Amino acid sequence: MITALVADDDASSANVMRELLENTGKIRVIGEASDGTQCLRMCAEMPPDALFLDIRMPRVSGIEVAERVMAMPDPPVVAFITGHDHFAVKAFELAAVDYVVKSLDLDEFQARLSVTVDRVERALERRDESVADLRDRITAIARELADMKRPGREALRIPVKDYDEGTVRLLDPSELVYAERRDRRVVLCTEDQEFPTYFTIDRLEHRLSEMGFVRANPGALVNMAYIGHMIPNGDGSYDVILTDPAGTTITASRSRARALLDSFQP
């Protein structure tokens, strides 16, 4: 039987989670924490096999709890069970085995938690060999993020969630064809994959402008190495034709087109 702690500042939500987890027949919940500080104390006093965390909790957040428990000698497997869907990339950067958004439909929630418990079970089976690997991954990501934030350092790689593989991938900017804002997300596009992210175009431009990336319009950033040709539209804007397999076309706005053309000047 897998021992588990549940951390959620909503007592009723924690009770529901306990019941649904124990319904799987594989989990025994040994404690419930109402905030991150209490959760860390309970992890130290009665180390669980698995930790089911909400993200937003008072005092210490679920993300911070995960960061700290991964530094323990024998850390629990972590899964995030939360009402917020916009922390997924950060959660997977911390090597969480799953990220579940709570559902009001208990049958649906039960089914989703059953999948999560199966993932926890498989992770525990591999724990001896995976703990060192998980730490290495977290250390590598932390170093990459530190490098990206350090003044005067160019961006080396960009952490993105690979939904096909269920892993965090460190994307080399040279693989990136263009970045484009779609609704409330910015999608990073390589020749054969797309990665939805929570980066902003402004932030990416700041990181990548010295690596050959140019702003085509307020919502798009283009790798100059992939620009094949530019077609004027007659109103001052240009259609920028890229050399990726899809032959993507990005419109360069009138205000950006001149700067884009100038960037090709020796």
Q: State residue 89's pLDDT score.
A: 47
Q: Is residue 149 part of a domain?
A: no
Q: Is residue 36 part of a domain?
A: yes
For residue 145, the surrounding DSSP H or E stretch is helix 127-149
Work out whether strand 98-101 and strand 77-82 pair parallel, antiparallel, or are unpaired.
parallel
Q: Is residue 150 part of a domain?
A: no
Could you tell me what percent of the chain has a pLDDT over 70? 79
pLDDT at 122 over 80: yes
* C-alpha–C-alpha distance, residues 116 and 125, integer Å: 14
Mean pLDDT, the chain, rounded, equals: 81
Please compute, for residue 258, the number of CA atoms within 13 A of its CA located in the half-sphere on the CB side. Answer: 4
Residues 256, 261, 264, 265, CA torsion sign: negative
Indicate yes or no: pTM above 0.95. Answer: no
Q: Is residue 141 part of a domain?
A: no
Determine the structural domain holding residue 212 and report its residue range: 155-262
Is the model more confident about 37 or about 132? 37
pLDDT at 166 over 80: no
Q: Is residue 143 part of a domain?
A: no
Into how many domains does the chain fold? 2
Could you tell me what percent of the chain has a pLDDT over 90? 32
pLDDT at 257 over 60: yes
Asked if residue 249 lies in contact with residue 239, where contact means CB atoms within 8 angstroms, the answer is yes
Asked if residue 5 lies in contact with residue 48, where contact means CB atoms within 8 angstroms, the answer is yes
- Burial level of 33, CB count in 10 A (0-12/13-18/19+)? buried
Q: State residue 42's pLDDT score.
A: 93
pLDDT bin (cut points 50, 70, 90) of residue 155 is: very low
* C-alpha–C-alpha distance, residues 67 and 51, integer Å: 12
- The CATH number that applies at residue 195 is 2.40.50.1020
Which of 168, 193, 166, 169 is closest to 179 using CA atoms? Answer: 193
The vertex-256 CA angle with 251 and 257, nearest 5°, equals 65
pLDDT in tens, 208-243: 888 889 999 999 999 988 988 888 888 888 999 999
Q: Is residue 147 part of a domain?
A: no
pLDDT in tens, 62-101: 888 888 888 887 888 888 887 755 554 454 455 566 777 7
Q: Is residue 146 part of a domain?
A: no
Most confident of the following: 89-93, 166-170, 180-184: 180-184
Tell me 253's DSSP state. P
Same domain assignment for residues 166 and 73 = no
Minimum mean pLDDT range among 36-50, 61-75, 128-142, 247-261: 128-142
Same domain assignment for residues 100 and 207 = no
Asked if residue 55 lies in contact with residue 84, where contact means CB atoms within 8 angstroms, the answer is yes
Tokens 């937003």 locate to 56
